[in-house]
Chains A and B, each alone.
Chain A
Amino acid sequence: MELRKNYFADVRKDDLHEVGQPRPRSDSPGHVTGKTAFFADRNFPGMLHLKMVRSPHHHARIRSIDTSEAEKHPGVVKVLTAKDVPHNVYTILILIQIGPEDETVLADGKVRWKGEAVVAVLAETERAAQEAAAKVKVDYEVLPAVFDMEEALKPGAPLVNEYHGRNYYLYDSGECRKVRFGDVEAGFAGADHILEQSYQSSPIEHAPTETTGCVVVPEGNDRFTCYTNTQAMFFTLDNASIILQMPGSKLHFVGGTVGGGFGGKVDVIVEPIAILGAKLTGRPVSFIYSREEEMQISSPRAAEKVVIKDGVMKDGRIIARKVTGYTDAGAYSRHSPYGAQKGAGHYPGPYTIPNVWIDTYCVYTNRTPSSAMRGFGVTIGDFALEVQMDRLARLIGMDPLEFRFINAYRDGDMKAHRQPTEGAALIECMQEASRAANWPVAEKYMAMSSYVKGA
């Protein structure tokens, strides 16, 4: 690929030694010889297998749990319920003071989504654990469930999560994250055209080829070694320490080799219960999601709904933008309050708009808890924003790329969050895109620059 050097010629250095030069990956030799040690490649004598009994209901009260038949099943060593977990209610982001703790390691009195973990069975073989899990009897009282975010926000909707007491995450800014810049209503009043559209997405599963899991070994020195494919080693170690009420010095995490993550392995789900199993049995424990669990149980990207209202002038300037974003957290927070907040930080997109109003909500429903995935909080928003940009351009009869040149943020422009734009380079990227895609724009746009001297 040709590297153009005329951009930012007076501020850039051109002594590039590494850019454009291939370097071998340090992990490839292990991959092509089959020597790379993934967590499940560790096998230990006497290792037990953990299988979960999961909720068949979206929302239900647990009247009783009977594990007696499962405990008698040949090969079963231990059956765990909520009372066995030292600190059963947790939330991942409590480590950075984003509470409240709202999720159970094993369900206690209630299940809030179909697939929620209720009872853990540890047995000599995977098969024995699976067979015994099928013998656990849970008596449920099914409750009304809510699956739609706007339904969940209506008064009288079933309450999903008592730890929040409402079906949305309460930010310090209130029921949503808010950005207020200029006077959006005055902007709409003065606009030549108004365009309001809503955009919706479904949850998306990462589907890594290696399923989520860990292998835990109780060591002779009273510590536990946890081989894991987590993408968040220290988040997992620290949360395990809280859940197990065990000092972090007792936990030795070995990881970094992940068979595909894409954000799907940042939640703390398998490690604490597997460590607990190893502690209570004194034996190594393997807890590996089946493919079905990976697809149905592991957190997907959140479903989102984005409503965008724009005021645009005939000359192409967007003068007002109002965005309301909804992120479906499912039954528990995990990373979704952060995702919704990122959305607020990301709108109104890479455009300079004088009047902006943004609300983003993190909503609880009886769906599989959602969490991180590649750019979560902004990816769906970008889809919505750029489709909206094309529609706006069509509305005023303008070329969609030229329309973006007119609105592109440039160095020194004040963003809606009151951060001045620095190092934007958006104009230059679009100029290159115009050439590469053979989508010519008027010469005045090709002469523009993001960089303003002294800005």
Chain B
Amino acid sequence: MAKVPVQFTLNGSEKAEFIDSGTTLLNALRDKVGDTSPKGGCHQGTCGACSVIIDGELRLSCLTLAETCNGTAITTTSGLAEGGVLQPLQRAFLDTFATQCGFCTPGMIMAAKVLLDHTPNPSRDEVVEALSGNICRCTGYEPIIQAVLTAARANSQNAA
């Protein structure tokens, strides 16, 4: 099968890979680059576990062809903690018990990060809407909603 070159930055680092044409970004990240923080829950764009941020926008990596990501800047949950220090969003997920099995967590954090980057002080409804593409089967969502609201408060206190 024809290989195509693809080049992007992942969490600030340059990456270049030869991939099979048609490879999803999810598989390229997990199998070629070795970043397994995006998860494959459905491979059909319904569960949100594979969510990543491409040039500031929330994207489903299982429905994104890797070869369309040339020259982009990609962020995943594995790149958030700088020097091992958790970001307020990650801290809030810990403190509000917003994780159980943990499989949806990286995707949830991506969706929440994009929301807070665009809307630093979201309403509860805005949080619910922002997380509506991500399925969690353990928590019942409430602790996750609380985590995002808690992180938003922490961010605004830091900014003040």
Q: Which of A166-218 contact B (CB under 8 A)?
A: 206-211
Assess the A32–B41 pair: CB atoms within 8 A. Answer: no
Quick one: given A209-B135, A291-B44, are A28 and B99 in contact (CB under 8 Å)? yes
Quick one: given A209-B41, A260-B137, A260-B138, are A32 and B101 in contact (CB under 8 Å)? no
Give Cα distance in the complex from A291 to B34, angstroms. 23
Residue of A nearest to B40 (CB): A40
In the complex, chain A residues whose CB is within 8 Å of the CB of B78? 33-35
Quick one: given A291-B43, A291-B44, are A208 and B137 in contact (CB under 8 Å)? yes
Q: Which of A25, A31, A209 has the most CB of B within 10 A?
A: A209
In the complex, chain A residues whose CB is within 8 Å of the CB of B105? 31-32, 34
Give Cα distance in the complex from A452 to B31, angstroms. 64
Q: Mark B43-84, 1 if CB is under 8 A from A, else 0.
A: 110110100000000000000000000000000111011000
Give Cα distance in the complex from A237 to B41, angstroms. 25
Candidates B31, B37, B104; contact of A209 at CB < 8 Å: B104
A30 within 8 A of B: yes
CB distance from A300 to the nearest CB of B (A): 14
Assess the B137–A34 pair: CB atoms within 8 A. Answer: no
Residue of B nearest to A35 (CB): B78
Quick one: given A32-B90, A41-B36, A258-B101, are A207 and B137 in contact (CB under 8 Å)? yes
CB distance from B107 to the nearest CB of A (A): 9
Assess the A27–B137 pair: CB atoms within 8 A. Answer: no
Give Cα distance in the complex from A396 to B96, angstroms. 47
In the complex, chain A residues whose CB is within 8 Å of the CB of B4? none
B148 within 8 A of A: no
Give Cα distance in the complex from A22 to B86, angstroms. 20
Assess the B81–A259 pair: CB atoms within 8 A. Answer: no
Assess the A290–B43 pair: CB atoms within 8 A. Answer: yes
Assess the B49–A209 pair: CB atoms within 8 A. Answer: yes
Assess the B99–A209 pair: CB atoms within 8 A. Answer: no
Residue of B nearest to A27 (CB): B102
In the complex, chain B residues whose CB is within 8 Å of the CB of A36? 102
Assess the A209–B90 pair: CB atoms within 8 A. Answer: no
In the complex, chain B residues whose CB is within 8 Å of the CB of A31? 93, 99, 102, 105-106
Q: Give the interface size bracket for B toward A.
A: 35 or more
Assess the B137–A33 pair: CB atoms within 8 A. Answer: no
Main secondary structure of the interface of B (DSSP, over half): loop
Residue of A nearest to B48 (CB): A209
A86 within 8 A of B: no
Candidates B76, B86, B90, B101; contact of A259 at CB < 8 Å: B101
Candidates A34, A211, A291; contact of B106 at CB < 8 Å: A34
A43 within 8 A of B: yes
Assess the A33–B103 pair: CB atoms within 8 A. Answer: no
Assess the B39–A259 pair: CB atoms within 8 A. Answer: yes
CB distance from B79 to the nearest CB of A (A): 8
CB distance from B63 to the nearest CB of A (A): 13
Give Cα distance in the complex from A27 to B99, angstroms. 9
Main secondary structure of the interface of A (DSSP, over half): loop
Q: Which of B81-101 contact A (CB under 8 A)?
A: 81, 86, 90, 93-94, 97, 99, 101
Residue of A nearest to B31 (CB): A43
Give Cα distance in the complex from A35 to B136, angstroms. 18
B30 within 8 A of A: yes
Assess the A259–B94 pair: CB atoms within 8 A. Answer: no
Assess the B94–A24 pair: CB atoms within 8 A. Answer: yes
Candidates B34, B46, B81, B101; contact of A210 at CB < 8 Å: B101
Assess the B86–A210 pair: CB atoms within 8 A. Answer: no
In the complex, chain B residues whose CB is within 8 Å of the CB of A41? 30, 36
In the complex, chain B residues whose CB is within 8 Å of the CB of A24? 94
A140 within 8 A of B: no
CB distance from B23 to the nearest CB of A (A): 10
Give Cα distance in the complex from A259 to B37, angstroms. 13
In the complex, chain A residues whose CB is within 8 Å of the CB of B116? none
A147 within 8 A of B: no
Give Cα distance in the complex from A376 to B78, angstroms. 37
Candidates A32, A37, A40, A43; contact of B99 at CB < 8 Å: A32
Quick one: given A32-B93, A209-B135, are A260 and B103 in contact (CB under 8 Å)? yes
In the complex, chain B residues whose CB is within 8 Å of the CB of A291? 41-44, 46-47
A38 within 8 A of B: yes
A397 within 8 A of B: no
Give Cα distance in the complex from A290 to B62, angstroms. 13
Residue of A nearest to B92 (CB): A32
Give Cα distance in the complex from A259 to B34, angstroms. 19
A262 within 8 A of B: yes
A375 within 8 A of B: no
Assess the A210–B99 pair: CB atoms within 8 A. Answer: no
B130 within 8 A of A: no
Given contacts A33-B80, A260-B101, 6 further A-B contacts (CB under 8 A): A28-B93, A33-B37, A33-B78, A34-B106, A40-B39, A43-B31
A-B contact pairs, 20 of them (CB 8 A): A31-B93, A31-B106, A33-B80, A33-B90, A34-B37, A34-B78, A38-B103, A41-B30, A43-B30, A43-B36, A206-B137, A208-B103, A209-B39, A209-B104, A209-B135, A211-B41, A257-B102, A259-B101, A260-B138, A291-B44
**Chain B residues near A (Cβ < 8 Å):** 30-31, 34-44, 46-47, 49, 76-78, 80-81, 86, 90, 93-94, 97, 99, 101-106, 109, 135-138
